[in-house]
């Protein structure tokens, strides 16, 4: 007997099922949209969600850098002097004992020459990572060291973007976010930061500590009494003092106290400064003294190198009278050569950033003039930051002029990050207010930022070209 199929009924059921599934899928789309909007609102609040967003965004740039201008192979790294020197420090720690030297860098293969100018802290995390890698492959990895070095810049870029966003409260929040992002990417692609692939500049670690300090300060200025803010302040001072020389730490903290007192008046609490700023710095001084004493106790006939005595101060400051490296302080601007054996065809190209320098000075002039003219209270935190950073660099450059002239590749970034923040974040925000929030200043700023990022990438690629396969 033939079976009759009710096609209209079957088709109706099929259509109803498809419609139900489509509506369900649409509900999921709407839910996802709502979650995205909620997440975006949290990002725009300027809290930890913002830092997470910056970390993700700069993570894409980090990846792009590693697969483009810094896709150098591990074999290439092994042939260059700077990665080999870093690897020799790690190898010496592994051979003679990290604890035996209290983390100080061991300069000689016989273990008898130790560097005492800083704690060696900037390489401690890398050493821990390399020990894990050694368990699996039986040796230290040059490529892992290069990736780690570049990741320090990645984290610093995310911190700088977050700080820039938090300090530009006089523009709409989404404008502030994109200004911070532009600032972060310019810092991340600054040629000397890209050169970190070959050698980790300890000042890069110090800058990250400074950024954490300023972020904690921004929370404290907003009236936050969370104990984590005080911990972050103290921790950042400890990291700064461990990362590089004690002189840089004292310059930074001294300039901060004076700038904040002069610009903000009596806002600061002496007890807070002593407890959360001075005490951590003093603790690190004690720690480094104990490091040296521990090495002397463990190593017979040890020789220390670095800042040893008053004669070393005279040499680094140029007060020894030598003209071998420079004649006067004008050479800080006009005698600029890489101090290390950097790789590449023309590594001196990474020191050519005069247009950023000129633009930064112009931006500082506009920012200062606007503050003087309007006396805007919201501009004070930015002014304290810029005044502290600039005077800290200036003191370092003028007091230790011979050291800075010899090592512009080490010290440039200490000035560059401030000028980047001024040109690509603070100035556009001020111009946006001055042009009555028309959006034109924002558009021009983001356009210039994108172009300048490519200028920096090209400069580095020309200095250290990757072999074309």
Task: For residue range 341-385, list pLDDT tens digits in order.
Answer: 788 878 888 888 999 999 999 999 999 988 887 766 677 889 999
Give residue 22's pLDDT band: very low, low, confident or very high (50, 70, 90): confident
- Averaged pLDDT, 438-461: 94
What spatial distance separates the first Cα and last Cα of the chain, rounded to whole Å? 74
pLDDT tens profile 273-294: 888 888 888 999 999 999 999 9
Closest CA to 89 of 77, 80, 98: 98
Residue 295, pLDDT > 80, answer yes
Give residue 23's pLDDT band: very low, low, confident or very high (50, 70, 90): confident
Residue 125, pLDDT > 70, answer yes
Closest CA to 174 of 420, 378, 449, 437: 437
215 and 166 Cβ atoms separated by less than 8 Å: yes
Domain containing 377 equals 48-304+331-463
pLDDT tens profile 306-348: 876 777 888 888 898 888 888 888 888 887 888 877 888 788 8
Residue 11 confidence (pLDDT)? 47
432 falls within a domain:
yes
32 falls within a domain:
no
Alpha-carbon distance of 3 to 212, in angstroms, equals: 78
Closest CA to 111 of 125, 129, 97, 132: 97
Give SS3 for 398. Answer: helix
33 falls within a domain:
no
Give SS3 for 304. Answer: strand
The count of other CB atoms within 10 Å of the CB of residue 235 is: 17
Give residue 4's pLDDT band: very low, low, confident or very high (50, 70, 90): low
Residue 467 confidence (pLDDT)? 66
Alpha-carbon distance of 222 to 78, in angstroms, equals: 49
Paired tokens of 113: 């020459």
Percent of the chain with pLDDT over 90: 58
98 falls within a domain:
yes
Residue 17 confidence (pLDDT)? 81
Residue 206, pLDDT > 90, answer yes
39 falls within a domain:
no
110 falls within a domain:
yes
Paired tokens of 295: 């090495």
Q: Which residues contact 156 (CB under 8 A, 6 or more apart)?
A: 187, 188, 193, 204, 207, 208, 211, 417
Measured CA distances, 220 to 211, 268, 285, 388 (Å): 14, 11, 26, 17
Q: Say what the alpha-carbon torsion angle 22, 23, 29, 32 is, to the nearest 10 degrees.
A: -140
393 falls within a domain:
yes
Alpha-carbon distance of 78 to 85, in angstroms, equals: 10
Q: What are phi and psi of 437, to 5 degrees?
A: 55, 45
Alpha-carbon distance of 134 to 412, in angstroms, equals: 34
71 falls within a domain:
yes
Give SS3 for 106. Answer: strand
Higher pLDDT: 16 or 363? It is 363
Computed over its alpha carbons, how large is the radius of gyration of the chain?
26
Domain count along the chain: 1
Measured CA distances, 61 to 88, 155, 337, 421, 432 (Å): 30, 12, 28, 18, 27
Residue 19, pLDDT > 90, answer no
């Amino acid at each position: 007997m033939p079976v009759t199929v009710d096609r209209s009924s079957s088709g109706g059921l099929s259509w109803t099922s498809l419609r139900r599934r489509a509506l369900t899928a649409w509900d999921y789309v709407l839910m996802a949209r709502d979650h995205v909007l909620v997440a975006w609102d949290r990002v725009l609040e300027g809290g930890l969600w913002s830092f997470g967003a910056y970390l993700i965004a700069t993570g894409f740039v980090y990846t792009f850098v590693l697969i483009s201008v810094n896709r150098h192979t591990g074999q290439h790294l092994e042939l260059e002097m700077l990665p080999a020197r870093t690897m020799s420090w790690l190898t010496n720690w592994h051979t003679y004992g990290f604890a035996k030297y209290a983390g100080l860098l061991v300069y000689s293969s016989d273990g008898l020459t130790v560097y005492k100018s800083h704690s060696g802290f900037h390489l401690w995390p890398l050493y821990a990572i390399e020990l894990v890698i050694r368990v699996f492959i039986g040796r230290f990895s040059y490529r892992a060291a290069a990736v780690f070095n570049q990741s320090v810049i990645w984290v610093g870029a995310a911190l700088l973007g977050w700080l820039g966003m938090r300090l530009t409260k006089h523009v709409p929040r989404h404008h502030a976010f994109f200004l911070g992002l532009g600032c972060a990417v310019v810092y991340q692609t600054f040629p000397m930061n890209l050169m970190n692939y070959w050698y980790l500049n300890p000042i890069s670690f110090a800058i990250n500590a400074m950024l954490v300090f300023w972020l904690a300060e921004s929370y404290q200025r907003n009236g936050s009494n969370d104990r984590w803010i005080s911990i972050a302040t103290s921790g950042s001072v400890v990291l700064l003092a461990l990362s590089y020389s004690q002189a840089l730490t004292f310059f930074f903290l001294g300039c901060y106290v004076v700038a904040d007192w002069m610009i903000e008046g009596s806002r600061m609490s002496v007890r807070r400064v002593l407890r959360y700023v001075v005490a951590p710095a003093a603790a690190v001084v004690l720690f480094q003294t104990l490091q040296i004493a521990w090495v002397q106790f463990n190593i017979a006939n040890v020789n220390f190198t670095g800042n040893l005595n008053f004669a070393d101060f005279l040499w680094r400051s140029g007060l020894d009278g030598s003209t071998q490296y420079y004649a006067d302080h004008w050479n800080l601007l006009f005698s600029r050569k890489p101090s290390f054996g950097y790789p590449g065809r023309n590594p001196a190209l990474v020191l050519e950033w005069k247009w950023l320098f000129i633009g930064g000075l112009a931006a500082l002039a506009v920012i200062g003039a606007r503050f003087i003219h309007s006396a805007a209270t919201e501009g004070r935190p930015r002014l304290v930051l810029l005044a502290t950073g600039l005077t800290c660099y200036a003191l370092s450059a003028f007091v230790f002029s011979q050291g800075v002239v010899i090592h512009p590749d080490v010290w440039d970034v200490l000035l560059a990050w401030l000028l980047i923040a001024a040109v690509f974040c603070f100035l556009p925000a001020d111009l946006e207010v001055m042009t009555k929030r028309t959006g034109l200043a924002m558009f021009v700023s983001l356009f210039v930022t994108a172009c300048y990022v490519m200028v920096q990438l090209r400069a580095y690629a020309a200095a250290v070209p990757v072999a074309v396969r």
